[in-house]
Structures are given as structure tokens and as C-alpha cells.
A and B are shown apart, each in its own frame.
Chain A
């Protein structure tokens, strides 16, 4: 033991003994801790030198003052609310963290232990306390606490984000997405209200200023939304480009945007946070969060008017939520679009069935009009050309109560002299006429007399669409649909459906008229289903052939189609429905209708395959099919092809034939697999050959042999002229007896 050795060594041990003879007074005064005693009211009655030195006050100043008065304000509250009650009830406290205030005003972090000395009745007499300096320990603890709070904040933010992401995953409609975003985004900033405002661009007028459409708002006054729209309207693009930003209600804002400022003040709002909602760089809209104080909100610890409400981490979180919202919106829109397309396709399919099954033109037209008022419009009229001019073949009203009223229009045959009538304009222009707002001036312009005017007024019409009927190159009449005040306005999709209907109706009417209006059911079906002649397209030469199988019924499941897409491109299709009977033929007809309906918004071939795959069960198609879909830009030659289990297309260029490596996905009607699109260029002068397996497959040869033969025959044909090439391929590859039908489409760019 060290002490023993020191004692043994003589001289120094006496000094040590002296030191260890703890002079109580010295120990008290100079102990390495503050030491003091107080009366129950806190008045200090004894204190040691260490304490006085630590707080920088002479003992005579400390004595008589109250301990709580030497504490920081927070410390005083803690003393009153915790230390004193604890001491009173349990007689001792330990390691209470307090801040003493030194004479120079600085804080001294310390830990205090105290005991209460009581009289015989338990009444308090004295508090004895020791104080240890804890500056470093406190700093360390604060650092830990701050780190823990940051971690909690960060965790809170990631939890918010996780909830947003998982809720968005289940949101199928734009409305769902908006509801998730508006609800979830309020939490991080404790926003009083939130609104999701989307930018709506008019598809018919892309140059028009985009409109701001609040999709969902919660906790925001209407007036504020109106003012926001007004404020953002003129400089929308720049607003959205500025990222997450905060608009504080201050004098500057009051000067620049008095309306907005007043609306904020009315709603007790102090700040708006604007978050861009984007997807892949496209700005879809904004999320607006409104911050402010509610009647029961706590007093803000920051000085009033302080504006440091947004931290970088908040900004990052909101920015991410904005992007998540954008992607979810795009997804929801696609989903809604697909659902609408399926709905549209099923309507067109029903119409196609109806047209195929009708006995004659009158019945066809009437039943179609009935279907239209059931699904699409309030009023439907069909006017057909005849030797005596235009005859109103059908008038139907959705509401049976107004059917009699509408029936009065039946004798009001269109006169080509009424040039302002949308039907007449449609016939003269050859294109759809869409009157978005029907006012009394419009009615008066088309009315033949007062009685006619009265009927039209009574029908309460708000919008009219007139589509010309054409078939086999002739104008056949006009299909007119109208909406009344009880129904919403027509959408672009409604008008597209009307156009599709007019296209089908035109074909039926044209054929019916050609067969002198005496068409049997089976013939109508057959005629309707056989592929039409391709349109003549500038810069392209196209030849098509369809050869039915020589066994059984002379209709089959093969088809081709050539369609002008919105924009410059054209769409090509060749397909083969399994089987060679009426069901195969009907399925083929349905598939072609659906395909046409899908093309309304110009999807890429891969998307056509995907949507058909996805829609197959919905459409109730009873057979599987293979098909090849292509889009071609006649100017650049850009060619995109997607295959659903179909034989590859053939390219014949400068006397050399090869198959294009289009990777087929599964057949239509099989469990869907994503389509893989092939993209390339069709050189000028080269011939693209699309065909069905009837051309390459026979009872005597399998398909690989057949494909090789086709390659050889095409290479040796010595021509790329579509008509000549068609003739050559069919004569070389097919005989008089065919087990399968054949569809063949050859196309060259001039």
C-alpha cells in the first residue's frame, strides 16, 4: 500500500498525516464541490468557498439570497415543480441537472444532490445540497440528445415517405392519388390545409394557356384557392420551375398580391409552401400546403414573424413527395385511360355485333341510335342520303319522357340549304362538327320554323356533335348526337367513339346499299368482317390480299388493317384468330374493332399488344390469336413492330430478302407477357411483307420449310412492287386447295 510505504519513509509522512487530519472547516470550504444549506423557502444560510468561487459571487452576497434565484429561469421552474416536491415527499434528490447563473451572466451547468433535514414532526428545517460542475457532461448529453432527435426526425420523415409510397401504390385513380397526397403531406409541416392543383392542357388547343384544376383540397378556404389560381395563372411555368418554395404572408406579399394576402389572413394562415408535382421532368401541377395557427395552437417558440419554418430536410422530403405524387398520377391516368379504352372498346364491340346482326338498313340504323342514347348521348339522329335528298332515318332520346318530343324532329329532314346546321357542315366539310355550346342563337339559325324552334328549345340541348357517314368513297349521310343540360359536356373520347361508330355504320350502309338493301344476316356479318381496301396513302404503295380457306365456310380468322394514325404515321396490322369458323370470324371482327378503337390515341405497337393482352379477358373474346402490329412514319421510314406470337415480317431490299428479328411475345389471349418492340427504318424502295401462316404453312410442309421457301421466292421475285410481289408470292406459295386462309400485306416507300 502506498500510504503504508510513505508512512514508513519518515519525513513526508507527517505532512501527509497533517493533510489527512481533515480539518473539517477546510474540507467544507475548499471541498471539490459546491456545498450549501437553505431554509425551506430556499434562503441560503450556509455556503462554502468553492460554490462562491464557481458562481463568481462573494459569500456575503450569496448568504441570504435564495438558491432558486441563482438558477436560470428554466432551472427555477424545475426547482419549484420537481426538486422541491420530490424533496418534500421523499427527503432526498440526486443528480438533478440545473444551470446556475454566474455573476457575469454566464451559465454553469451542474448536478445537484440534496437532502431535507426534518424536525420530529416531519416538518422541513433545512435543505443540505452539494453541487458538481457538469459542463462537459452536459455538452456531451446535449450532443447525444440532439443526435437522437435528428435521428427521430429523420425516421419520422422516412416513415411519412414510406406511408406515402405504400398508400400511393394502392391508389388507382387520380382522385385516390390526390386524396393520399393531400392527407399525408400535411403531417411533416403540421400544415393546416393542403390542396393538389393539376395543370390541365386542352388536347384540342395545345397553345391555349393551361388551366389549373384543384383536384382535391382539404382545410383550405375556397377564396384562397381562387386567389392562388389567379396569382399563378400568368406565370405558371416559372412558378412550377422554382422547386419547393415558401410564400410568407409579409408586407412584400401584401403589396404584390393583395387578394392572396387577404385570403391568407382570413384563414389565419401565415405561410404557403408550394411543392411541384412532377413526373420524369414533366410538371403536372403543384401541391400547396398552408401553414398557420389554429385557435388552440401553442405559442410559437420562435419569435413571431420568424420564417425559418422549412428545413433542408423538409424541402427534400416534400420534393420527393411531389415526385412520388407525379409518378402515381401518371400511373393512375394510364390506368383510367386503359379503363376508358376498355369501356369504349366494349361499346364499339356491342355496336359491331349489333350492326352485324341487323336485317336491313332501317333496323340497323334504328338499333344503333338506340344503343347510342343508351351509352353515349341524350339524343341520336341518323340522316341518310336518298334519291329524294337527306332522309331522317332515326331519332332516339335517352329519356322516354322526351322521346315523343324528339320524335317530332323525325320529319325535319336536313336541307343542304341550312348551311349553319352542324349536320350540313359535317357533310360539306367531310369532317366532324362539334358544337360545344348550344345557345339560342344556334337553335334559331338551324330552325326551319317556330314550331321546330320550340321543339329544339324544349329538348334543352347543350352540345351537338355531327359526324359524316362515308363508305366506299361515297357520302352516305350524317350521324348526329346531342347532350342536354342534365348530362355533362361531351369529352374528346365521346367524340372519338362517335367517329368510330360512324365509320362502322358507313361500311354497313354502303354495303347494304350496294346489295340493294337486301342483305341477309350472314352476308352482313361476312361483309362487315372481311378486310376493307386499304386507304390510299401518300408516299406509300400498298397491296393486300385475302384468300379464304377452300374448306368449309368461306370466312376465316385472318385479317389485315392499314390505318392512318393521329399525326403522320400509319398503323399496320396482320393477324390470325385461331380456327376457321364463324366464331373465329366474329372474333377477328371484334379484334379489328378493338384495335381500331385503341389506335385513337396513337399508341406504339408494343402498347397495342400490351393493351390487347390486358383487355382480352374484359372483352370476352373467345379465341386466341396471333398478330403483328406496326407503325410506320412514311416520311422518315421509321418502323416499329411488335408481335404477339406471330410469324416475323419479311423485308425485301435490293433483291435480298430477310426476316426482321421481331421477338414475339405470347399470343393474344394467353397469359400476358410484356411486348418487345423492334424499331428500325424501312428504306425507300424496299418492300415490307406482312403475312399470316396460311402463306407459309401447309398440310405437306411445316412452318420452317415454309418460311425458307418464302425467303427464296421473295429474293427471286425480281420486283418490290407491292401488287406484283403479292401476285408472285401467292402464285408460287399457295395452291388451289388451301387448308388455311391467307392474309398478305406488302408495302413499299416511294
Chain B
């Protein structure tokens, strides 16, 4: 991908008191920077099952007037798998802490955090941990709790989640051995094939399973009310993972949030309808 470069230590004046090792953080999360360095930071966080490449169709729309920050959650993509610590990542707060560390390492402020799927809630928790860093929040297909609970509809029963874990097991049993060579890139873009092969090769089935548990078995409903920055909830049509009722719930529980219904179907509008997604995001940013 042209225009992206691996982030290095930024030679900015002034100390970086809270992050003892900037390089370590940036490498751990495979942080990549693009866009215009002096503009407002736009940080994209991928959801469960993918990595930062998910944003490739949306990012170009914002490179001209934003500083783009892309990263992989630890355990996904090209992140440092050796940094995976079951204790730390036993709660979404561990992932949120990483987000904050990345922002501190890059000395970012007034960040617009764009979180897809589970990362929408990770964004809420990151805001809680470091209110000084973030200026706005965009939640694409968010869900504060996937499992139904009394009157709350999350869309999933416990059996559904157990079934999901089974499917993950079935798909990752021989994943690295069998799937990697099979995932072929389009012949005209061989570098992309290499990227994908690598990223999926390096995904450990145990980590995927654990991330799935943490994603689908967390309950962060109570955290929604803590959000105090302008917030956009982007809701897809026919999203089986985050149904509209859940998106509405998120909207109603974040004071002053904006709810935008997309025509795009499924759970990944930034892949299936990048133009519509980018337009909604643009409207919110210029709003």
C-alpha cells in the first residue's frame, strides 16, 4: 500500500513520560501512519476476525486532511504475538490500554477513534482511561453485550456463542498448515497475497478463540454512559452480529450521540460499502 509507512520514533520535542518504550508499543501493535501529519488524528481499529487491512477502502478518503493511524490488536494481523498475555487481554480493558499506549507513544490528542465491531466498545473503554486523548468516537456495528439478558436483546444465546467457538475450532484446527497456501492473492497484486498469507499464518487459534470469548462474553453496557465526546453510531442493515435494536440501545445510552442507519448490509460496511461508510464518517467529521 503506497502512502503507508511503518511508524518510527517521532522526533518531537518534550519528554514522553508515560511510555517508557515508544518503539516497543508501536511494534507490538504494528502501528502504521499515513495521511497528513499535522492534521487531526483519525485512528481506525479493526474488529474481531480481521486486521487493519479491513480499512483499505476507506482510508484513502481521509488521507488528504487527516493523520491516519492504523494498528492491529495484539493477537491479530502482524502484531507481536509474543506480547499476547492472557491475563492482560482477559478483558476488553487490556485492548483499550493498548490503544491509549499507542496514542501516548505518538503524543496524539483530539483523536477521532473509529472502532468497528468489538473495537467500538474498546474505544469507549479507552476514552474512559484517557479522556484527554480523544475528541470524538465513531462506532461501527457496536454491541455492548452480545448475549441476551432478561429484557436486554443482544441477539445471541449462550448456545449461539458456544456454536461460534465450535466453528472457530473447526476452522482453525489446521488453519496455519492448510489455509495459508490456499489464500491466494489476486495475481496482479502479489504483495497483497504475501501480506495476507503472513497475517493469517501468524494467527494463533488459541488467541482467536480467547479473543472470541472476550469479545462475545463481555458486558460493557454500564460503560456507555461514561462517553462524553461527540459520538457517531453507524448501523448496518441486516447485521446479524449487531442488530439494529442493539445499535439503538448504544445510541440511547450515549448522551448526545448521532445514529446513522446505513443501507449497507452485513457487518462490515467499510468492506461492502466503503463509499457510503466514508460519506457517513465525513458528514460526522464536518458535521
Contacts and interface: CB of A to CB of B under 8 A. Distances in A.
A82 B211 CA distance: 14
Given A95-B178, A141-B173, A299-B219, A84 B167 contact: no
B198 interface: no
A85 B49 contact: yes
Nearest to A72: B163
B241 A301 contact: no
Nearest to A145: B169
B167 A72 contact: yes
B94 to A, nearest CB: 9
A89 B77 CA distance: 14
A80 B241 contact: yes
Nearest to A68: B240
B268 to A, nearest CB: 6
A303 B196 contact: no
Given A85-B271, A88-B271, A301-B158, A77 B240 contact: yes
A298 B171 contact: no
A398 to B, nearest CB: 50
A95 B182 contact: yes
B130 interface: no
A318 B123 CA distance: 40
B186 A90 contact: yes
Contacts of B196: 86, 89-90
B167 A74 contact: yes
A347 B265 CA distance: 86
A302 B218 CA distance: 14
B170 A141 contact: yes
Nearest to A41: B265
B219 A74 contact: no
A42 B167 CA distance: 19
Residue of B157, B159, B164, B185 contacting most chain A CB atoms (<10 Å): B164
A706 interface: no
A561 interface: no
B10 to A, nearest CB: 30
Contacts of B145: 299
Interface string A37-60: 000111000000000000000000
B214 A298 contact: yes
Nearest to A298: B217
B162 interface: yes
Interface string A74-94: 111110111011101111111
Contacts of A92: 183-184
B266 interface: yes
Residue of A68, A85, A86 contacting most chain B CB atoms (<10 Å): A85
A81 B241 contact: yes
A78 B162 contact: no
B271 A296 contact: no
B164 A80 contact: no
Q: How large is the interface on B (under 10, 10 to 19, 20 to 34, 35 or more residues)?
A: 35 or more
Interface in B249-270: 265-268
Contacts of A76: 240-241
Interface string B263-282: 00111100110000000000
A499 interface: no
Contacts of A90: 183-186, 192-193, 196
Contacts of B93: 296
Contacts of A291: none
Given A80-B241, A97-B167, A301 B49 contact: no
A85 B50 contact: yes
Contacts of B183: 86, 90, 92-94
A73 B163 contact: yes
Contacts of B160: 73-74
Contacts of A68: 240, 266
A86 B185 CA distance: 10
A81 B48 contact: yes
Contact of B91 (A66, A89, A296): A296
Interface string B11-26: 0000000000000000
Residue of B56, B158, B178, B192 contacting most chain A CB atoms (<10 Å): B158
Contacts of A595: none
Nearest to A302: B158
A138 interface: yes
B133 interface: no
A87 to B, nearest CB: 9
A94 B272 contact: no
B90 to A, nearest CB: 8
A299 B241 contact: no
A697 interface: no
Interface in B17-55: 47-50, 53-54
A278 to B, nearest CB: 32
B166 A41 contact: no
Contact of A77 (B53, B164, B185, B186): B164
A191 interface: no
B103 interface: no
Contacts of A80: 239-241, 266-268
B179 interface: yes
A741 interface: no
A558 interface: no
A97 B182 CA distance: 14
Contacts of B202: none
Interface in A9-49: 40-42
Contacts of B267: 80-81, 84
B169 A91 contact: no
B261 to A, nearest CB: 16
A95 B179 CA distance: 8
A78 B164 CA distance: 7
Contact of B173 (A93, A96, A145): A145
B117 A91 contact: no
B131 to A, nearest CB: 19
A89 B268 CA distance: 12
A99 B182 contact: no
Interface string A105-147: 0000100000000000000000000000000001001101100
B164 A74 contact: yes
Given A81-B117, A81-B267, A98 B167 contact: yes
Interface string A445-484: 0000000000000000000000000000000000000000
Nearest to A75: B167
A82 B117 contact: no
Contacts of B159: 73
Nearest to A190: B90
Contacts of B163: 72-75, 99
Contacts of B156: 73
A170 to B, nearest CB: 24
A92 B196 CA distance: 12
B248 interface: no
Residue of B50, B160, B163, B170 contacting most chain A CB atoms (<10 Å): B170
Contact of B272 (A81, A88, A95, A144): A88
A44 to B, nearest CB: 14
B161 interface: yes
A81 B159 CA distance: 19
21 contacts: A41-B272, A74-B160, A74-B162, A74-B167, A80-B240, A80-B241, A81-B48, A84-B268, A85-B50, A88-B272, A93-B182, A94-B179, A95-B179, A97-B167, A141-B170, A141-B173, A145-B173, A298-B91, A299-B145, A299-B217, A301-B161
Given A74-B162, A301-B161, 15 more contacts: A40-B272, A73-B159, A73-B163, A74-B164, A74-B166, A74-B167, A77-B241, A80-B239, A80-B267, A84-B272, A89-B271, A90-B183, A95-B179, A145-B173, A299-B147
Interface of B: 47-50, 53-54, 56, 90-91, 93, 117, 145, 147, 156-171, 173, 178-179, 182-186, 192-193, 196, 213-214, 217-219, 238-241, 265-268, 271-272
Interface of A: 40-42, 66, 68, 72-78, 80-82, 84-86, 88-99, 109, 138, 141-142, 144-145, 296, 298-303
| A-B residue pairs, 9 tightest by C-beta | A81-B49, A74-B163, A74-B164, A97-B170, A73-B160, A298-B217, A80-B267, A74-B167, A296-B91
